[in-house]
Structure 1
């Protein structure tokens, strides 16, 4: 596999110098400059040749083709997107394997890199995301360990019971205020889902939409204890949240309930909104109980 980060670094070097057309790019010079071996540099040069950035002359090596600054910028964007796609796909495979008990509780970086075919840069990106979301952490010295939290159906249901106790109360905090721009943004996100996004959005997008909605409403309380607790719960429930999205039929009703909540808060009917939030989270809890088979490893 070609390391897209090396591709991108060489391309950025061509853009930053800037290197004129017909400039020679010796592999050893690039390897020394990027502090890597020649093998990934040669793979990256071949990739850039295939994309038209470079040409290869027999017995002479690689040379820069004549491309405009706009063309180089577009190619750099494509390389970044490709790298992000690989990282995202690996992330979901790791998550699913963890939920299926196909990965050990303690693991090495070498295991993840080899099992999912990642470059060093991609490996670091995947592990950084996993760590930031709280479902694995680096051990002192060597290796990583998965968190024991939220890898069972019961733990996801427990997180919803905590939210059921907390989120309605946040809407009743003295001085509660939901900024009109935040309200409009939340409403637009729900309308997007009802207009087809439920079927077409990725699990990441669906999860983030729900997280942003609930965190935005809790943030209106101005109470940092409510806000911090909800954010922590959302970080660590992500794994099972993704798996629950295999059944999307319930999202239409979710969106309608969210829009109703926004209407009540816009009218400053916070007690009614708190009751609506209890109903919303309770119905979600019931729905999740009904799809326990999906949540099981």
Structure 2
């Protein structure tokens, strides 16, 4: 399998996960640029992935208009056995457990996880895009030490505690109705059973989309850049925290409450509710430090 084909198949799975997690109705437009921005990839693999989904009947193509959801995605439909994703999560676990050095040669990674050269490149490209690893001169990789302790995740939440409530109070704050309904549907999906059935990727990305969308509605480019950066670097410990899912129902209800306040124009109350929500999460994470350690 070529590198480009492997990346496109990964994007296929991500698009299907997005349709599933947000319960996008039939007829929803799927602009390639929007998907590229959400998935942090170029438009080329997105266009190839949409073409593959069109062949599978999951999306439909309309001339001069683009791609649209063709049918509901009731369960996750993998495009192919995802060896790269399995290796990605195992590498993450190995880093958090201290079983993998923070600097390692590409050949070592390829042998350790049983990957082809193209698969390894796809995995490392994803890691670099998410901001927790970078290529060293030559053929080695270096991973971020910021991600390997429970304190890292707690510190990221304290940073968000300072930023996100303030974003909701920015002058001209506007959360459009379509975004609000999309976010509300995603939270209801969790309460309707998604907490138990969604993957770690889906749970993490659903939370990221909620918080980033609310900050983006502030229109403050500095806030937006900061929240995107912190969300990239907290991904690994966030995955591990999904082992304990008992807190997610409360989080979904808190998210829905914040959305209702914003819809009513009660931004002061929404800001306080966001502060309470993040403080609640900090307390919950502190109580599962053992899970975060491995």
What SS class does the counterpart of residue 149 from structure 1 fall into?
Answer: helix
Counterpart position of 1:117: 114
**TM-score scaled to structure 1, two decimals?**
0.73
Deviation at 1:136, TM superposition (A): 0.9
| Residues 68-100 of structure 1 deviation map (CA, whole Å, 9 limit, x = unaligned) | xx9xx66xxxxx9326x1111110000000000
Deviation at 1:116, TM superposition (A): 0.6
Gaps in structure 1 of 5+ consecutive residues:
10-69, 75-79
Counterpart position of 1:250: 247
For 1:179 and 1:150, how far apart are their aligned partners in 2? 34
For 1:145 and 1:5, how far apart are their aligned partners in 2? 25
Deviation at 1:105, TM superposition (A): 1.3
Q: Does 1:214 align with 2:211?
A: yes
Counterpart position of 2:143: 146
- Equivalences, count: 225
| Residues 93-127 of structure 1 deviation map (CA, whole Å, 9 limit, x = unaligned) | 00000000111111011111111111111111000
Gaps in structure 2 of 5+ consecutive residues:
7-51, 57-77
Counterpart position of 2:180: 183
Counterpart position of 1:96: 93
**TM-score scaled to structure 2, two decimals?**
0.74
Counterpart position of 2:84: 87
Deviation at 1:141, TM superposition (A): 2.5
Deviation at 1:134, TM superposition (A): 1.1
Deviation at 1:5, TM superposition (A): 3.9
CA RMSD across the alignment: 1.7
What SS class does the counterpart of residue 142 from structure 2 fall into?
Answer: strand
For 1:144 and 1:124, how far apart are their aligned partners in 2? 11
Q: Does 1:172 align with 2:160?
A: no
* Aligned structure 1 segments of 4 or more residues deviating by more than 2 angstroms: 80-83
Deviation at 1:238, TM superposition (A): 0.2
Which structure has the larger Rg? 1
For 1:172 and 1:281, how far apart are their aligned partners in 2? 16
| Residues 203-227 of structure 1 deviation map (CA, whole Å, 9 limit, x = unaligned) | 0000000000000000010000000
Counterpart position of 2:279: 282
